[in-house]
Amino acid sequence: MIVEIGHFALVLALVVALVQAALPAWGAHTRDSRLMQVAEPAALSQLGLIALAFAALTYAYVTSDFSVENVWANSHSDKPLLYKISGVWGNHEGSMLLWVLILALFGAAVAAFGTNLPETLRANVLAVQAVVALAFLAFIVIASNPFARIPLQPEGRGLNPILQDPALAFHPPFLYAGYVGLSVAFAFAVAVLIEGRIDAAWARWVRPWTLAAWVCLTLGIAMGSWWAYYELGWGGWWFWDPVENASFMPWLAATALLHSALVMEKREALKVWTILLAILAFSLSLIGTFLVRSGVLVSVHAFAVDPRRGFFILCILVGLIGGALALYAWRAPQLKQGGLFAPISREGALVLNNVLLTVACGTVFVGTIYPLAAQAVGYSLSVGAPYFNLTFGLLMVPLLLALPFGPTLAWKRGDLYLVLGDALADGAFVVRAYFNPLVRCIWLGALVMAFGGVLSLLDRRLRIGAPRRSARAAAVTAASPAE
Residue 26 confidence (pLDDT): 93
Of residues 373 and 412, more confidently modeled: 373
Q: Determine the distance from the C-alpha atom of residue 14 to the mean position of all C-alpha atoms in its chain, rounded to a whole number.
A: 22
Burial 91-109, CB ≥16 within 10 A → b, else e: bbbbbbbbbbbbbbbbbbb
Of residues 268 and 123, more confidently modeled: 123
Instruction: Give me the mean pLDDT over the 56-78 stretch.
Output: 89
Lowest mean pLDDT among 240-244, 288-292, 311-315, 421-425: 421-425
Residue 425 in this model has a pLDDT that exceeds 70: no
To the question of pTM greater than 0.95 for the whole model, the response is no
8-state DSSP, 88: G
Domains in the chain, please, with CATH?
1-162 (1.20.120), 165-415 (no CATH)
Of residues 53 and 372, more confidently modeled: 53
- CA–CA separation, 240 and 243 (whole Å): 8
Please state the length of the chain. 483
SS3 content of the chain, % helix, strand, coil (to 5): 80, 0, 20
Residue 429 confidence (pLDDT): 47
Instruction: Give me the mean pLDDT over the 56-73 stretch.
Output: 90
Distances (CA, A) of 129 to 90, 105, 382: 25, 11, 37
Reported as a pLDDT band with limits 50, 70 and 90, residue 236 is: very low
Residue 480 in this model has a pLDDT that exceeds 50: no
Reported as a pLDDT band with limits 50, 70 and 90, residue 56 is: very high
Residue 138 confidence (pLDDT): 93
